Amino acid sequence: MQAIVASLAGTVFKILVKPGDAVKAGDTVVILESMKMEIPVEADASGVVQEVPHREGDFVNEGDPLVIVS
């Protein structure tokens, strides 16, 4: 199990994966909106999505898990 975390505080703008999806390192999995910028968050390792703990519109802080992969 590994968490892909928010690189900075902001709002979850778009979630691009759902549980069961396969992701590769470098894939964009979530787009955050912060400081009026769209910030893509990339997977840092490959795996299968287990859980997406937030919904679009949620506030997340830096370091909060966005996608859990295994």
Partner 1 sequence: MTEEELHALRARALSGGPEKYRERLASQNKWPVRERLLRLLDPDSWVEDGLLAQNQAPDLAADGVVTGLGRVHGRPVAVMANDPTVKAGSWGALTVEKILRIQEKAYDLQCPLFYLVDSAGARITEQVQMFPGRRGAGRIFYNQVRLSGRVPQICLLFGPSAAGGAYIPAFADVVMMVDHNASLYLGSPRMAEMVIGERVSLEDMGGARMHCTVSGVGDLLARDEAEAIRWGRQYLSYFPDNYQMMPPSYPASAPRTEDWSGVIPANQNQPFDMMQVIARLVDDGSWFPLKPLFAPELITGLARLEGRPVGIVANQSLVKGGVLFCDSADKGARFIALCDAFNLPLLFLADVPGFMIGSRVERQGIIRHGAKMIAAVSEATVPKISVIVRKAYGAGLYAMAGPAFGADATLALPSAQIAVMGPEAAVNAVHYHRIQELEEDARQHFIRQQQESYQKDIDIGRLAAELVVDDVVAPEELRRECIRRLTFYEGKARVFSERRHPVAPV
CB of 38 to partner 1, least distance (A): 5
Tell me whether residue 46 or residue 61 sits nearer to partner 1 (CB atom). 61
Tell me whether residue 38 or residue 56 sits nearer to partner 1 (CB atom). 38
Tell me whether residue 1 or residue 35 sits nearer to partner 1 (CB atom). 35
Q: Each residue of 36-54: b (16+ CB within 10 Å) or e?
A: eeeeebebeeebebeebeb
**Sites of contact with partner 1 (CB under 8 A):** 7-9, 34-40, 61-62
User: Phi and psi dihedrals of 68, rounded to 5?
Assistant: -105, 125
Give the residues across from 3 on adjacent strands.
68
